[in-house]
Amino acid sequence: MTKPLDLLQLRLGHRFADEALLRRALTHRSARRQHNERLEFLGDALLGFLIAEALTQRFPDASEGELTRLRARLVNGEALAEAAAELRLGEFLELGLGERKTGGQRRLSILADAFEALICAIYLDAGIEVCRERVLHLLGPALERVQPGEALKDPKTRLQEWLQSRGLERPQYHLVGERERAGAWEFEVECRVAGLPTPCRGSGGTRRGAEQAAAAPALQQLQTND
């Protein structure tokens, strides 16, 4: 019979030699004294280093400021919480009763912290090379999407600026659906823009992420038709 942690390890692409490290990474301080905060501390540093390394290799001509902004975009709390949601990490977290009753398994800060702790656990279990490989696998899609010239502005901001520069009305965002899947929330948002025949939709692990996902195709259509 497959154990729940076997499923998580399959999603991670890493089987732990020391499964106790994995359990500790998933343990919130509300659950017991041996929790994941120390792993989270080191995991934060590891993520910062490995993403900085990947960015400098991918963008050899980018300035320090551009690289810093790109790194911040990839390893901020919301981005890490979305990566955790992709793993459905919330369903594996060990939380205190009160924290679980108030929806702690869906709280962005708890998910982001657990993701950092998980990265540290992989490092302690298998070393830096395996850790690097897993980080690039888990955050690779986000890493592929970023560009230095767009580091400061997300799709929602760029869409609003494009419309304002032409004297057009601001876009309207409407939440059209939200649902829980295995301990993680998914939001669906509709972006309505004057000049587009139909609204554009986007989804994400946060409402803000869903709004950005909806803004991106709207902006692309407007620029194509401009």
Q: Which helix (H) or strand (E) holds 34?
A: none
Q: Which tokens belong to 211?
A: 């709004």
Active-site entry in 116, 125, 188, 190 = 116
Which segments of 114-183 are extended strands (E)?
A: 172-181
Catalytic (active site) residue 154: no
Distance of alpha carbon 105 from alpha carbon 95, whole angstroms? 8
The 10 Å Cβ neighbour count of residue 10 is 11
Alpha-helical (H) ranges within 87-192 are 97-101, 108-126, 128-145, 155-165
Question: What is d(CA 226, CA 217) in angstroms, rounded to the nearest whole number?
Answer: 14
For residues 188 and 183, what is the distance between their CA atoms, to the nearest angstrom? 17
End-to-end alpha carbon distance in the chain: 57
Mark whether 44 is an active-site residue: yes
Which listed residue (44, 66, 94, 190) is catalytic? 44
Catalytic residues: 44, 116
